[in-house]
């Protein structure tokens, strides 16, 4: 039997409507309009497209968004000064720097400069620490979107064996931590893992976040498993994930498509984090 599709596009649309209503209520009751500043350095076409998507989605839900497009040869110091500017701006509740950055700029120094209370990407060490210690903080958007997809489709996480393939700071490590927080038994695999299939075949929930097209084949799947594909690879002008979708969908119980799976949830959770930030800052002002 063919797997059920985890439709990120449809879920994202429903969530964005919920967020739009909350934004409107926050404005009407407390006079607060959530504000998001996006800093884009250079002219990478994929990054430009993601930033356009963020701006459009923000506007649609009533979030005030400022996009600053900066030249590829920008100095790190100038970028840090722009971050300081938005850290001080009371109309801005969320700041993000689109990644990747050009080689002359150190990603960690830039991320650390963002005020942890405005770090809607959840990449600042303070928020990373909160995720691991169990406290309140911003959760990175892609992992948060994956968890929301699983929960909203009433898929049981507690007690499941979740296997995460990939250990990036943006997806692999935080999604593993979120699944652990929900009482999954978590295994993390990566590019140096020997006999990857040995692990993936034991997964009730499999998250593939490596960036290698076709890495996960049908023989590596436990029948009925939940397969979450985070890969975004362009092959012959087509967008494909890390999972061999056509073959794997015949064996899995649930599967995310690429495009239209995890991707749209990423931007949705950014809207959610910005709204949450505005509500929270409104409380302390
Ligand atoms: N500062 C950040 N940089 C990057 C992040 C991030 O969360 N914060 N994540 C990725 C890029 N990204 C958002 O920035 C992102 C990637 C993919 C999608 C998406 O909707 N994908 C669609 C397909 C879109 C297409 O056709 O290209 C899908 O999968 O359906 C949204 C956002 C790296 N950088
Ligand atoms: Mg760099």
| CA 169 to mean position of chain CA atoms | 11
Which candidate in 54, 118, 173, 222 is catalytic? Answer: 54
**Ligand showing the shortest atom-to-Cα distance for residue 258:** 1
pLDDT per residue as tens digits for the range 46-56: 999 999 999 99
Which positions ≥6 away from 254 have C-beta within 8 Å?
3, 4, 5, 6, 153, 155, 225, 226, 227
Mean pLDDT in residue range 142-161 = 98
User: Is 123's C-beta closer than 6 angstroms to any atom of ligand 1?
Assistant: no
- Fill in the DSSP letter of residue 124: S
Pocket of ligand 1, candidates 266, 268, 272, 273: which has the most ligand atoms within 8 Å of its Cβ, to mutate?
A: 266
For the record, the structure tokens of 80 come out as 């840090």
pLDDT digits (tens, 9 = 90+) for 51-110: 999 999 999 999 999 999 999 999 999 999 999 999 999 999 999 999 999 999 999 999
Please say if 54 is a catalytic residue. yes
CA-closest residue to ligand 1 atom 13: 50
Instruction: Return the CATH number of the domain spanning residue range 32-115.
Output: 3.40.50.10860
Is 115 known as a binding-site position? no
Contact (Cβ atoms closer than 8 angstroms) between residue 224 and residue 253: yes
Ligand 1 and 228: CB distance under 6 A: no
Task: Give phi and psi for 50, each to the nearest 5.
Answer: -65, -40
The response to whether 52 counts as a known ligand-binding position is no
Say how far residue 15 (Cα) sits from the centre of its chain. Answer: 15
- Ligand 1 in contact with 239 (CB < 6 A)? yes
Closest residue by Cα to atom 15, ligand 1, is 50
Q: Is residue 146 within 6 Å of ligand 1 at its C-beta?
A: no
The domain ranges of the chain are: 32-115, 141-263
Give the pLDDT of residue 135: 87
Closest by CA position to 94, among listed 269, 285, 277, 279: 277
pLDDT value at residue 89: 98
Question: 103 alpha carbon to ligand 2 midpoint, in Å?
Answer: 4
Determine if residue 166 is labeled as part of a ligand binding site: yes
Q: Does 244 contact ligand 1 (Cβ within 6 A)?
A: no
| Residue 268 CA: distances (Å) to CA of 7, 27, 110, 194 | 13, 19, 24, 35
- Whether residue 285 has pLDDT greater than 50: no
Q: pLDDT tens digits for 249-275? A: 999 999 999 999 999 999 999 999 999
pTM, two decimal places? 0.96
CA dihedral sign of residues 83, 24, 55, 152: positive
pLDDT at residue 140 greater than cutoff 50: yes
3-state helix, strand, coil in the chain (%, to 5): 45, 15, 40
Q: Which CATH number fits domain 141-263: 3.90.76.10, 3.40.50.2300, 3.40.50.720, 3.30.70.100?
A: 3.40.50.720
Q: Which residues of 248-271 are buried (b: 16+ CB within 10 A; e: fewer)?
A: bbebbbbbbbbebbbbbbbbbbbb
If one residue of 58, 263, 264 were mutated to test the ligand 1 pocket, choosing by the most ligand atoms within 8 A of its CB, it would be: 263
Residue 211 has pLDDT above 50, yes or no: yes
Residue 24: its pLDDT value, please? 98
C-alpha angle 119-90-265 in degrees, rounded to nearest 5? 35
* Mean pLDDT in residue range 112-121: 98
How many residues does this entry show for the chain? Answer: 285
Contacts with 100 (C-beta within 8 Å, 6 or more apart), sequence order:
44, 47, 107
**Cα(262) to centroid(ligand 1), Å:** 9
Write out the two tokens for 187: 């295994």
Instruction: Name which of 167, 119, 117, 177 is nearest 144 in CA terms.
Output: 177
CA-wise closest residue to 239 among 255, 219, 218, 262: 262
Ligand 1 atom nearest residue 99's Cα: 3
**Average pLDDT for 208-222:** 97
Answer yes or no: is pLDDT of 284 > 80: no
Q: Would the CATH topology of 32-115 be identical to that of 141-263?
A: yes
Cβ contacts of 240 within 8 Å, gap of 6 or more: 213, 214, 231, 233, 234, 258
With beta carbons less than 8 A apart as the criterion, state whether 223 and 202 touch: no
Q: Is the pLDDT of residue 1 over 80?
A: no
Beta strand 185-189 with 94-97 is: unpaired
Cα–Cα distance for residue pair 48/51, rounded to 1 Å? 5
What whole-number percentage of the chain has pLDDT above 70? 99
Return d(Cα 174, Cα 171) in angstroms, integer. Answer: 6
* pLDDT at residue 122 in the model: 98
Is the pLDDT at 121 greater than 50? The verdict is yes
């Amino acid at each position: 039997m063919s797997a059920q599709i985890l439709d990120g596009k449809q879920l994202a649309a429903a969530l964005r409507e919920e967020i739009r209503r909350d934004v409107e209520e926050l404005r009407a009751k407390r006079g607060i309009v959530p504000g998001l500043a996006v800093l884009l350095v250079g002219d990478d076409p994929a990054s430009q497209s993601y930033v356009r998507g963020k701006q459009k989605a923000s506007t649609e839900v009533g979030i005030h968004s400022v996009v600053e497009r900066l030249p590829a040869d920008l100095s790190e110091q100038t970028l840090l000064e722009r971050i300081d500017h938005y850290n001080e701006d009371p109309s801005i509740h969320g700041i993000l720097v689109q990644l990747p950055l050009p080689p002359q700029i150190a990603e960690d120094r830039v991320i650390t400069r963002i005020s942890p209370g405005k770090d809607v990407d959840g990449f600042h060490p303070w928020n990373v620490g909160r995720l691991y210690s169990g406290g309140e903080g911003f959760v990175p958007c892609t992992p948060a979107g994956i968890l929301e997809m699983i929960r909203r489709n009433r898929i049981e996480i507690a007690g499941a064996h979740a296997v995460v393939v990939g250990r990036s700071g943006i997806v692999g490590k935080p999604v593993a931590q979120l699944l652990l927080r929900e009482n999954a038994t978590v295994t993390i695999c990566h590019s140096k893992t020997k006999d990857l299939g040995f692990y993936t075949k034991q997964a009730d929930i499999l998250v593939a976040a490596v960036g290698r097209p076709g890495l996960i084949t049908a023989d590596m799947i436990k029948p009925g498993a939940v397969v979450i594909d985070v890969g975004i690879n362009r092959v012959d002008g087509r967008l494909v994930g890390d999972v061999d979708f056509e073959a794997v969908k015949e064996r899995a119980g649930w599967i995310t498509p690429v495009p239209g799976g995890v991707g749209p949830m990423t931007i949705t959770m950014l809207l959610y984090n910005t709204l949450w930030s505005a509500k929270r800052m409104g409380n302390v002002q």
